Structure 1
Amino acid sequence: MSRHIFALQQVARRTIFSSARRQVDNKVPQKQKLFQEDNGMPVHLKGGSADALLYRTTMALTVVGEKIFLTVTSSASFPTEFL
């Protein structure tokens, strides 16, 4: 049993340490320049159309959630007559 575990550890170690490293371009300086630029836009919309879509979706879900909350709370506050 321990021989199998040792073999599995060796295989796992080989795949982790022998994999080639990918070069990743550092985009932090460009993002910092974009988000620190004073162009009159709010920071939560400076990321482009994806940020605008995410913002609008969040606002729509918030409004729908508030409506559901108020509906459930008001119906719980005024229960119907007991049978």
Structure 2
Amino acid sequence: MYRHMISLQQVARRSICSSARRQVENKVPNKQKVFQEDNGMPVHLKGGSSDALLYRTTMALTVLGAGYVVYELVKAAFPKKA
């Protein structure tokens, strides 16, 4: 029983401590080139189609929210007569 515990500890220690780290490619220089390029696009849209979709969604929610606020203010300003 004790021998099994020792071997389990060794396996656990070996897999955690001496595991090879994954090499990750540095993508920062490539992103810097894309975002610093002078192509007439605003910086918040240089990320691609996902940035454009996020921007349009944000603008749509902003316009709808502002419209709803105006609607509620008008509704509160002119209450129904009982």
How does the TM-score come out when normalised to structure 1? Answer: 0.70
Distance 2:63 2:51 in 1: 18
| Unaligned stretches of 5+ residues in structure 2 | 1-11
Mapping of 1:32-51 within 5 angstroms? Answer: 32-51=32-51
Label 1:68 to 1:23 Cα distance change in 2 as closer, same or farther (>3 A): same
Q: What amino acid does structure 1 have at the position aligned with 2:49? A: S
Label 1:31 to 1:71 Cα distance change in 2 as closer, same or farther (>3 A): same
Distance 1:68 1:58 in 2: 15
| Unaligned stretches of 5+ residues in structure 1 | 1-13
Tell me by how many angstroms 1:20 deviates: 5.1
Distance 2:23 2:69 in 1: 49
In structure 2, the partner of 1:24 is 24
Q: What amino acid does structure 1 have at the position aligned with 2:35? A: F
Label 1:61 to 1:20 Cα distance change in 2 as closer, same or farther (>3 A): farther
Count residues in correspondence: 69
In structure 2, the partner of 1:80 is 80
Q: What amino acid does structure 2 have at the position aligned with 1:53? A: L
Percent identity, aligned pairs only? 66
**CA-based RMSD:** 2.3
Q: What amino acid does structure 2 have at the position aligned with 1:34? A: V
